[in-house]
Amino acid sequence: MALPLELGGKRPARVALATARLTRAQVQAEIARADLRLRITQLYIEAAAAERRAEVLSEQAGIANNAFRVSSERVKAGDVGPIEQQRADVLRINAQVAADSAARQAQAARANLETLLSAPVTGPLDRAWFERIDGYGPPRPIEVEGTLALAAAEADVRTADAQVRVARSLRVPDLTVSTFARRLEASNDTAAMVGISFPIPVFNNGSAFVAQSRSEQTQAIALRNLAVIDTRQQIASAQTEVANAAATARAAGGPGLAAAQEAARIARIGWTQGKFDQIALLDAERTLSQTRQTYVDALAAYHDAQARLDRLTTPAPMISGEDR
């Protein structure tokens, strides 16, 4: 019977490598869950923005229909020429086409969200959340250490360290203790014998495996340092996008929208009373529609950038393998 005895810390090295690989797998699972949350959030943002755009364009279609009705009445009364009615009819048709297209896009966005959730999405989406903008002032500095964005790179470094430890342990030969029985010719008795074998590596001393493991360790460290730089840049870019979109949304949804609505209201009254020409009305309506769509687009950009920023700054959870 032969019993191998491992030397050089082979078993602890294997345990450390297995633990590091388990930690890497657990980190990857957390990353997958975080990416799924981000995707769901982005689809929700798309659906909410599509519904708001559909509302805006539907209201614009209603305004265009009313403008066409008034134009028809004024043409019949002889107050204006037929060209105004034709122009209003073109505006009405285009506005209805845009409203129908936006409604289909809203349905498609909701369907995509339902597909990802594997569940129906009923009722209106959270409009109050979509129109809420949080935070003021300059972006706060965020330390990337300890975030989920770096967890995978750090787990790769720990795995590479453990692999180097395994490679070094394999350079130490193992002892083999064997027991056997031998018959003594002099007395014809049987004696129990114990033997110890210790191989001496000559042509393969494991140096190549150690060199390879060290190279992979150096690569993992370099990639980890690069991940730190990339994550910092991505966080800074996301913070800038959040701030810019928030500023645009506040301007478009606040004084900008109020001014556009008032200008359109005055233009409608003045055109109905014959004080403004149709060109002034169309320009005011176009400005109002563009301002409202800019507001919706800025809100969608704000929430999308905020969701990506939250994903980048998600703290890495405590992994069970790290406590071993």
pLDDT tens digits, one per residue of 144-181: 888 888 898 999 999 999 999 988 887 777 677 777 67
Please state, in angstroms and rounded to a whole number, the distance separating the CA atoms of residues 24 and 228.
18
What pLDDT sits at residue 106? 93
CA distance 251 to 258: 10
Q: Which residue has the tokens 């959040």?
A: 242
- Cβ-in-10-Å burial (0-12, 13-18, 19+) of 14 comes to middle
Helix (H) or strand (E) holding 34: helix 10-77
Q: Specify whether the CB–CB gap between 317 and 155 falls below 8 A.
A: no
- Taking 80 as the threshold, does the pLDDT of residue 187 lie above it? no
Asked whether the predicted pLDDT for residue 324 surpasses 50, the reply is: no
Q: Pull the structure tokens for residue 117.
A: 């959730």
Do the domain assignments include residue 97? Answer: yes
Contact yes or no for 82/44 (Cβ under 8 A): no
Averaged pLDDT of the chain: 84
CATH number at residue 239: 1.20.1600.10
Instruction: For residue 249, tell me if it sits in a domain.
Output: yes
Cβ 52 vs Cβ 125: under 8 Å: no
Residue 70 pLDDT greater than 90, yes or no: no
The full length of the chain comes to 324
Q: How far lies 107's CA from each of 95, 96, 123, 251, 259, in Å?
A: 18, 17, 12, 29, 31
227 lies in some domain: yes
Q: Is residue 198 part of a domain?
A: no
Confidence of residue 35 (pLDDT cuts 50, 70, 90): very high
Q: Is the residue at 194 inside a domain? A: no
Tell me the pTM: 0.78
Question: Would you say residue 138 has pLDDT above 80?
Answer: no
Q: Are 10 and 76 in contact (CB under 8 A)?
A: no
What would the pLDDT profile of 2-30 be if each residue is shown by its tens digit?
Answer: 667 667 778 888 899 999 999 899 999 99
In a domain, 121, yes or no: yes
What are the DSSP calls for 130-158, one per residue? HT-----SSPPP---TTBHHHHHHHHHHH
Query: Which amino acid makes up residue 122?
Result: T
Closest C-alpha to 50, from 96, 95, 112, 92:
112
- Per DSSP bridges, beta strands 190-197 and 2-5 are unpaired
**Counted domains in the chain:** 1
Q: 150: closest CA among 228, 210, 243, 207?
A: 228
Interatomic CA distance for residues 232 and 309, integer angstroms: 11
Mean pLDDT (whole number) for 223-240: 91
Q: How far apart are CA 17 and CA 42, in angstroms?
A: 37
Alpha-carbon distance values, 209 to 137, 140, 198, 283 (Å): 54, 46, 21, 74
Distance CA 284, CA 139 (A): 36
Lowest mean pLDDT among 95-104, 113-122, 283-292: 283-292
Confidence band for 284, pLDDT divided at 50, 70 and 90:
confident
Q: Is residue 8 part of a domain?
A: no
- Whether residue 183 is contained in a domain is answered as no
Provide the pLDDT for residue 91.
84
* Phi, psi angles (nearest 5°) of residue 318: -70, 120
Helix residue ranges, H only, 124-254: 127-130, 148-169, 207-253
- Domain with 260, as residue range(s), is 15-171+208-323
